[in-house]
């Protein structure tokens, strides 16, 4: 410390100290070669264990992705099958109800025929209404 003749306060000199921090990162199960060599120097055989772990992890991911793909294929097949069965049974129901209406008209039962036609129309209307709601996005 130095004392200034005019000023009685001590003066201090400051020095600028800079720190440089170096950081390295890696992603994935296998470290960079330099790090792997250091690991191997500390614990012989560890590199083989790290590679085996990476291979096992990759194999497990492949199995999981295959299961997900199989499940998606099964789900798609079930959706197609359900859609087909729904359309088939709807068509069969309409044909059956139309046959009942024709039978009622031929045997002089106009009320039954009218009721059957109303049922066919209402079922078709509900089908169209719900199908349109299903295709619209929720807001």
Domain membership flag for residue 18: no
Structural domain containing residue 101 = 28-135
Domain membership flag for residue 17: no
Mean pLDDT of 124-136: 75
**10 or 107, which is more confident?**
107
Closest CA relative to residue 40, chosen from 49, 52, 28: 49
Reading phi first (left if > 0) and then psi (alpha if -120 to 50, else beta), residue 77 is in: alpha
Domain membership flag for residue 4: no
Burial category of 83 from C-beta neighbours within 10 Å (exposed 0-12, middle 13-18, buried 19 and up):
exposed
Q: Does pTM top 0.75 for this prediction? A: no
Closest CA relative to residue 95, chosen from 122, 126, 116, 125: 116
Domain membership flag for residue 8: no
DSSP assignment, residue 122? H
Mean pLDDT of 5-27: 71
């Amino acid at each position: 410390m130095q004392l200034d003749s005019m000023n009685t306060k001590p003066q201090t000199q400051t020095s600028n100290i800079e720190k440089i921090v170096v950081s390295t990162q890696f992603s994935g199960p296998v470290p960079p070669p330099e790090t792997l060599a250091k690991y191997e120097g500390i614990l012989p055989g560890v590199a083989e264990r790290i590679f085996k772990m990476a291979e096992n992890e990759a194999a497990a991911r492949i199995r999981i992705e295959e299961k997900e793909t199989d499940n998606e294929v099964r789900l798609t097949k079930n959706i197609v099958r359900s859609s087909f069965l729904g359309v088939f049974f709807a068509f069969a129901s309409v044909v059956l109800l139309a046959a009942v209406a024709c039978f009622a008209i031929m045997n002089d039962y106009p009320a039954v025929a009218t009721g059957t036609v109303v049922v066919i129309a209402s079922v078709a209307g509900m089908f169209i209404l719900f199908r349109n709601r299903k295709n619209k996005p929720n807001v």
